[in-house]
Structure 1
Amino acid sequence: MTNDDLSTTVQRWLAAEPDADIRDELQALLDGDPTELEDRFHGRLQFGTAGLRAAVGAGPLRMNRLVVRQAAAGLARYILDTDPRGAERGVVIGFDARRKSDVFAADTARVMAANGIKAMLFDQYVPTPVLAWSITDFDAAAGVVVTASHNPPADNGYKVYLADGAQIVPPHDAGIAARIDEVDPTDVALAAPDHELISTVGDEVFDRYLGAIPSVRRRSDVPGPTVAYTAMHGVGGATVMRAFEAAGLPAPIPVEAQYRPDGTFPTVSFPNPEEPGAMDLLIETARTAGADLAIANDPDADRLAAAIPQPDGSWRRLGGDEIGWLFADYLLEHGDGADRLVVTTLVSSALLGKIAAAHGVHSVETFTGFKWIAREVLDRPELDFVMGYEQALGYLITQQPLDKDGISAAVLFAEMAGAAAADGRTMQQWLDDLAARFGRHVLADASVRMSPEEAAAKVTALRADPPAAIGGRDVLSTEEYPEANLLRFELDGGVRVQIRPSGTEPKVKLYGEAVDEDPAPFVDALAGLLA
């Protein structure tokens, strides 16, 4: 792009930008550093299976109302092109408490109405699982939730579901992206905010979602444990409290400083329960209250994290796989039939398959990303789906929504803690029992920060020239999963290490697993090959 072309484009964006703060930012860029300006306008955010995510700011490579309007217009075109009843079925739209989430959602509704599509806009903050659940509840053609989930505070995002209530997979992502490419972001038609095609969604959907919560329980006779809970400054708190009440469990003890929605996330620099320190206030609350269990949602409440007390009085945060093992063992124990199905992802633990085999049921390992777990459920209607999980704290224990749900998972996990106590054991003893039955599966992970382009290049280079040994162990086999952009190395001694570029963050992710051995040195050795 020449300087004249850049200047013309920026001026068009400046004239079309509806928000004063973003206009001021763009004007400052225009008056200041040309390099930064070029970086903002050198391409645009690419729509993929996770939708859009970036820092809120000016330009096509940031999240702002022009980018959102363009995405909404592309989605509208895709709905009209692919669903004969799409305009009538409509789109349900929700938002979280992050910066500009409400106006991004309102603009989406106005774009849909301008295209003749019914828009159903939540009138309050909504957890992502409730939005996903509402799509099939309404028989909508699609759903949109404006959230950046557990991304850094400066970010926002735009997540799209189609009519089945599952995250989009190919070819839908490419189809929507192609329609977005056709749209001029500075010239998107908008209906009036009070257009007849725009309606509001309120408490009635929450009531219906919560009405289904009691069905997740397996032992309703078990008294509930004392649970400490954090919403991580997100939008799940009030719904979690209502869910526990609906399920007949005692109300959790909230981390007050993190309970109310706050898109600035004042007590955590990175609102992800997996990040070091993010659960410190929760664990302190649990310790002070003498709780039996500590649980956390991420800010949009689709993930569940947990910590448990140890015999010495300390607390230990559970890994995502450990929570998944416990869910699987409990749900398979409280059910019957060989035609049951559990699902996990390539980078999650191999132990799920062993647990499933012990119960005589089907297990599937699928590509990274919860959208693929949902796909397995949809593609195997002859099987009775029991649960699915990914090690990044995502769990699905119901048939609706077909996406991870940290609220229903929180309810069931609390029951499980109560059931363990009723059976005379702690959650740690339960995990120790799994280790005695199947071998102690030891997990390790790491990440190396780098640009998405460099991350993809590094993994491609390893694929082209795989190592003969990692950490002093011979590589027995190398498996490629191009759909997930993942490489798996099986090492001598039963060690498994894997590597892939992150789909949502600028990093390479590495995973290791071994039985009765620490895989961390081999993960570190694999990371060293990226230098």
Structure 2
Amino acid sequence: MDAHLQAKIQHWLSLDGDAPSRKAIEALIESGNSAELASRFSGRLTFGTAGIRGVVGAGPMAMNPLVIQQTSKGVADYLKAQIKDSPMRGVVIGYDGRHDSKRFAHDAASVLTAAGIKVYLTARVAPTPLVAFGVLHLGAAAGIVVTASHNPPQYNGYKVYWSNGAQIIPPHDSGIAACIEAAAQQKVEMLTHEAAKAENRLVMLGDEFYSAYRDSIRQAELLQNHTAPQKVSLAYTAMHGVGAEMAETLLKDAGFTQVYSVAAQREPDGSFPTVNFPNPEEAGAMDLVMLEAHKHNAMLACANDPDADRFAVAVRKPGATADMAAVDAYQMLTGDQVGVLFGHYLLSHAGKDQRLTCCTIVSSSLLSKIASSMKGVCETTLTGFKWLTNVGMQKQTPQNRFLFAYEEALGYTLGSMVWDKDGLSALLGFAQLTAELTEKGQSVWDRLEAIYRQYGFYLNQQVSIALSGRENRPSIGQLLRERPPKEIGGRNIVSVDDISTGLRTFADGRTETLDLPASDVLIYRLQGDARVIVRPSGTEPKVKCYYEVVQPFSDGMSWEEAQNRANEAMAQLIEQHQASLPQ
């Protein structure tokens, strides 16, 4: 073991007060496992706009008490430098049901209170949207939620909200990261919860806080459609997370009486025993809730992810029968389909002073078409809900208030009660949308088909491509910029957005400036309203591609025919585009 690595390890051990973590490192030293030690001390978990997230374990490259303490000290120092009254305004801290989350949240509270900052700590597990809500509700300077969302059981994470109730964006991420680096050089002071309470620096958020979120949902202007809730039947799963109690309460408050929870997945369990990967998008994750829905012949099978900031739904297929398997009787809607349904529904009901919607560059462009035709506005942002909500705040005016935002990865926010994705209000909003359709004798499929017939059958797909033999060669992005394609998949290119330069270039040479932060992304708009988005990974031999095709959906065409044609066009576009990428 070289001297530099040895010094880093000894410095870490001199600061780490957690016995299991120390023992894990000492065991590696005793066994002479230098390779593993070098890996664990190769740096530290990078703090970015999504905070930190990683596997729970010992050392600075994993999630553990010392990493949490150092991160919290960095957050405290940055807050005090940026927001002068932050010690008095305080920080809201909540946590999910993962095995280490409560310990990590309590450690964060001890560090912040020792730094002189008041802390509002949830007395029990809390859905992530409640923390975002709490920042504005309590007028706090920031919020922290300990969660790894829908990642596998071995992960945990630490997310930060700014005083506006939204996830942090630059420059706060780099500013906090610099403060964390400084904090990691010395012992972090901590205050016991008893001492913090005695000094009025620690307030425990109990039932009253949870009720405040519940009451705000009951009063939310976009959730006042109480058309025939008793006619809707739905199954629900919290996916071993923290959403069940609040989700069931909100549905009951709104008059939904046919709600069937998946008992095996209702209570928080950080081991996630009934799912391989607690993400509703993953194959098999929705099986139990579809089975529960099928048992009751329910219209919907709904899910929140484990921290309840995402919402997923499968809808009973037309013609489904009791003797069918549950997975055949229900069809999962894509995030784009749910986003489009929400956008159309909300724009149909909102007043003329609330027409601002947002979606990301990789989400379906259909919401923009709908908003434009319904006298609304759709702002397009970089990927990530932090951009959707921060841009939504910046762009709204008293004459055009924020209405709705979504990203294709099952994230939605309805109105401005929570400036982050909120799977709980989305669950209620979708149930109300379904109830209104049911009262009219229509289904979710009927509404989606009507939208597609009016605007075209939109199909979106993401593909990650591994490219071999790229060592010491220019990145894919660089090559595409040096030798730009003239056409893709037999379709002429209408325009190219280069987000790294903030410029849109049309086929005739005209250019427009883009109102987006710089990012290594290329967007190709093609003939026939098709689109290809390429997100190169720098020097890594990988590239993420997002494809969109639009199939005309005439009156004489069936859903199956339109879908088959769209699938064929998508397969052709993907195959030809992948073959054309620089090798």
What letter is aligned with 1:374?
T
- Distance in 2, matches of 1:507 and 1:395, equals 29
Deviation at residue 11 of structure 1 after TM alignment: 2.6
What letter is aligned with 1:293?
L
Q: Residues 167 and 283 (structure 1 numbering): CA distance in 2 closer, same or farther, change over 3 Å?
A: same
Deviation at residue 438 of structure 1 after TM alignment: 0.6
Equivalent of 1:479, from 497, 500, 504? 497
Any unmatched runs of 5+ in structure 2? 321-328, 501-517, 552-565
Question: Is the Cα contact below 8 Å between 1:338 and 1:360 reproduced in 2?
Answer: no
Give secondary structure in 1 for the equivalent of 2:271: coil
Asked if 1:362 is matched to 2:377, the reply is: yes
1:272-291 matches, within 5 Å, as: 272-291=279-298
Q: TM-score, normalised by structure 2?
A: 0.85
Aligned residue for 2:389? 374
Aligned residue for 2:562? none
What letter is aligned with 1:107?
D
Equivalent of 2:545, from 504, 507, 510? 510
1:56-95 matches, within 5 Å, as: 56-95=56-95
Question: Is the Cα contact below 8 Å between 2:227 and 2:432 reproduced in 1?
Answer: no
Question: Is the Cα contact below 8 Å between 1:245 and 1:251 reproduced in 2?
Answer: no
Give secondary structure in 2 for the equivalent of 1:145: strand
1:77-476 matches, within 5 Å, as: 77-184=77-184, 187-194=187-194, 195=196, 196=199, 197-214=201-218, 215=220, 216-224=222-230, 225-250=232-257, 252-313=259-320, 314-337=329-352, 340-382=355-397, 383-448=400-465, 457-459=475-477, 461-476=479-494
Deviation at residue 491 of structure 1 after TM alignment: 3.0
- Distance in 2, matches of 1:270 and 1:220, equals 35
Once the two structures are overlaid, the 10-residue window that deviates more, 70-79 or 175-184, is: 175-184
- Distance in 1, matches of 2:203 and 2:339, equals 39
Question: Is the Cα contact below 8 Å between 2:528 and 2:550 reproduced in 1?
Answer: no
Deviations along 1:293-347, one digit per CA (max 9) or x if unpaired, are 1111111100111110112312110000100111111111112316521111111
Give secondary structure in 1 for the equivalent of 2:109: helix
What letter is aligned with 1:155?
Y
Deviations along 1:278-300, one digit per CA (max 9) or x if unpaired, are 11111111111110111111111
Give secondary structure in 2 for the equivalent of 1:493: helix
Q: Residues 250 and 337 (structure 1 numbering): CA distance in 2 closer, same or farther, change over 3 Å?
A: same
Question: Is the Cα contact below 8 Å between 1:444 and 1:520 reproduced in 2?
Answer: no
What letter is aligned with 1:478?
V
What letter is aligned with 1:488?
I
Question: Is the Cα contact below 8 Å between 2:479 and 2:582 reproduced in 1?
Answer: no
Aligned residue for 1:497? 532
Q: Residues 509 and 279 (structure 1 numbering): CA distance in 2 closer, same or farther, change over 3 Å?
A: farther
Q: Residues 199 and 175 (structure 1 numbering): CA distance in 2 closer, same or farther, change over 3 Å?
A: same
Give secondary structure in 2 for the equivalent of 1:252: strand
Deviation at residue 501 of structure 1 after TM alignment: 6.1
Q: TM-score, normalised by structure 1?
A: 0.94
Give secondary structure in 2 for the equivalent of 1:305: strand
Greater RCO structure (CA 8 Å; 6+ sep): 1
Question: Is the Cα contact below 8 Å between 1:12 and 1:186 reproduced in 2?
Answer: no
- Distance in 1, matches of 2:352 and 2:371, equals 12
What letter is aligned with 2:19?
A
Q: Residues 233 and 189 (structure 1 numbering): CA distance in 2 closer, same or farther, change over 3 Å?
A: same
Question: Is the Cα contact below 8 Å between 1:466 and 1:478 reproduced in 2?
Answer: no
- Distance in 1, matches of 2:270 and 2:423, equals 19
- Distance in 1, matches of 2:125 and 2:56, equals 19
Deviations along 1:207-248, one digit per CA (max 9) or x if unpaired, are 010002223424213224111111111111111111112222
Deviations along 1:329-376, one digit per CA (max 9) or x if unpaired, are 111111231652111111111110111122111221111111111112
What letter is aligned with 1:419?
E
Deviation at residue 471 of structure 1 after TM alignment: 3.7
- Distance in 1, matches of 2:69 and 2:575, equals 43
Question: Is the Cα contact below 8 Å between 1:241 and 1:251 reproduced in 2?
Answer: no
- Distance in 2, matches of 1:514 and 1:416, equals 27
What is the identity percentage for the equivalent residue pairs of Structure 1 and Structure 2?
Answer: 42
Q: Residues 71 and 524 (structure 1 numbering): CA distance in 2 closer, same or farther, change over 3 Å?
A: farther
- Distance in 2, matches of 1:530 and 1:18, equals 51
Aligned residue for 2:514? none
- Distance in 2, matches of 1:210 and 1:176, equals 32
Deviation at residue 33 of structure 1 after TM alignment: 2.5
- Distance in 2, matches of 1:180 and 1:28, equals 27
What letter is aligned with 2:216?
A
Question: Is the Cα contact below 8 Å between 1:347 and 1:368 reproduced in 2?
Answer: yes
Q: Residues 295 and 321 (structure 1 numbering): CA distance in 2 closer, same or farther, change over 3 Å?
A: same
- Distance in 1, matches of 2:258 and 2:205, equals 26
Question: Is the Cα contact below 8 Å between 2:354 and 2:403 reproduced in 1?
Answer: no
Give secondary structure in 2 for the equivalent of 1:212: helix
Once the two structures are overlaid, the 10-residue window that deviates more, 298-307 or 26-35, is: 26-35
Deviation at residue 73 of structure 1 after TM alignment: 0.7
- Distance in 2, matches of 1:363 and 1:210, equals 29
Q: Residues 240 and 70 (structure 1 numbering): CA distance in 2 closer, same or farther, change over 3 Å?
A: same
- Distance in 1, matches of 2:314 and 2:3, equals 56
Deviation at residue 488 of structure 1 after TM alignment: 1.2
Give secondary structure in 2 for the equivalent of 1:291: coil
Aligned residue for 1:52? 52
- Distance in 1, matches of 2:20 and 2:421, equals 35
Question: Is the Cα contact below 8 Å between 1:127 and 1:235 reproduced in 2?
Answer: yes
What letter is aligned with 2:499?
Y
Question: Is the Cα contact below 8 Å between 1:338 and 1:362 reproduced in 2?
Answer: no
Question: Is the Cα contact below 8 Å between 1:101 and 1:156 reproduced in 2?
Answer: yes
What letter is aligned with 2:496?
T
What letter is aligned with 2:297?
G
Question: Is the Cα contact below 8 Å between 2:92 and 2:144 reproduced in 1?
Answer: yes
Give secondary structure in 2 for the equivalent of 1:378: helix
Aligned residue for 2:512? none
Give secondary structure in 2 for the equivalent of 1:57: coil
Question: Is the Cα contact below 8 Å between 2:90 and 2:141 reproduced in 1?
Answer: yes
